[in-house]
Amino acid sequence: MTSVYTLTWGIVGTGWISERFYKDLLIDPNTRDVSDVAHKPVAVASRSIEKAADFIKKFTESDEVAATVKPYGSYSELMADPAVDCVYVGTPHDSHYEYTLMALRAGKHVLCEKPFTINAAQAIHLKAVAAEKKRFLMEAVWTRFFPLTIAMEKMIHEDQIIGPIRRVFTDLAQITPKDPSHRLNNPAAGGGALLDLGVYSTTWMLSTCYHHPKNEMEKPTSIKANMIKSEMTGVDESTVVTMTWPKVGILGVSSCSLMVSSPYESVIRVQGDKGDMIVPIHSSRPEKLVVHLYTSKPYEYEEKVFEFPIPGWGLFWEADAVARDIRDGKLENERYSLDESILAMSIFDEARQQNDLVYPASIEAVEA
């Protein structure tokens, strides 16, 4: 019988995404046909020990399990806990770089929520520190590990069921309250559509074009961006980025917005010579894949629908990948490397530079 590798986790931050990640860690891996790795949360940290304790009590169904999870009132205390193998950073955008750096220097492996950092320079620094400390590091773009995402890449790149790809449209948009204090409207928190929602539209673009076998991991040669900025705070409310991939002859259009919601029927559309491959809502948590294969008649197609039910929230698939890599002594994930995170951050840097979107120096800084 193959032994099960159990990874112990420390959760940094007690917000919405940390709640879902924590609860997913507690789901029996057998429910998703996983038998080689398992997860054990052993610590949760917030800015007060009371808040961390409340989080554990609220989101742990078993009192017996809850008793094994230690609350901390500071992040540094959690990172000093020898029982923690891997730290999950689920704090707001502007603190990802700081707490990931802290965890790596404390000798912990790290899974950091998206966006990885505020800019590419910070991402490059984190990669260097992880290599120096010989610790695993990955940006938590959970979508890349969904069964649907993996199946779609196979259909496109290996099976080539829609033929050579010509155009790719990716989007994620959702209406955000017109409140200047909301984190997505706050430049000091790394707010705006690009770093929050644009991560998803960009990751679909990269999985389709950057990972195209004939592209050979070449970066896009042309990146052009346009933004509509908030009159309240100056962050981007809507952004469109076009990318040219000349090696595979693909033009990509990637969009995000805080002003409107994505159309339900198509948030991702990959167009090829033989048909279209479409992902309906939601591009961050996809459950359905629709394929339109063209017929001999203009504007008519044969439709195929593939359903991918999710037994929990879906964050456990990236956690499983992290556990396997750490078990195997890897410092990066082959499916979503640090270089790809750096490429995504460099695309965001270029989009912001072209539109004069600058965040406060305090959150853009790179520690010496």
Question: What is the C-alpha to C-alpha distance for residues 110 and 103, in angstroms, rounded to an integer?
Answer: 7
Q: How far is CA 98 from each of CA 40, 103, 118, 363, rounded to the nearest angstrom?
A: 25, 9, 11, 9
Strand boundaries in 230-361, DSSP class E? 236-245, 250-257, 268-272, 275-279, 288-294, 301-307
Question: What is the C-alpha to C-alpha distance for residues 42 and 66, in angstroms, rounded to an integer?
Answer: 9
Residue 178 known to be catalytic: no
Q: Cβ(77)–Cβ(45) under 8 Å?
A: yes
Q: Cβ(118)–Cβ(190) under 8 Å?
A: yes
DSSP string, 20-43: HHHHHHTS-GGGGT--SEEEEEEE
Pick the catalytic residue: 114, 134, 219, 274? 114
- Chain centroid offset of residue 234 CA: 24
Omega before 96 cis (within 30°)?
no
Give φ, ψ of 275 to 5 degrees.
165, -170
Give φ, ψ of 307 to 5 degrees.
-100, 140
Q: How far is CA 46 from each of CA 43, 78, 209, rounded to the nearest angstrom?
A: 10, 9, 39
Q: Please state whether 42 falls in left (phi above 0), alpha (psi between -120 and 50) or beta.
A: alpha
Q: Give the residue numbers marked as catalytic.
A: 114
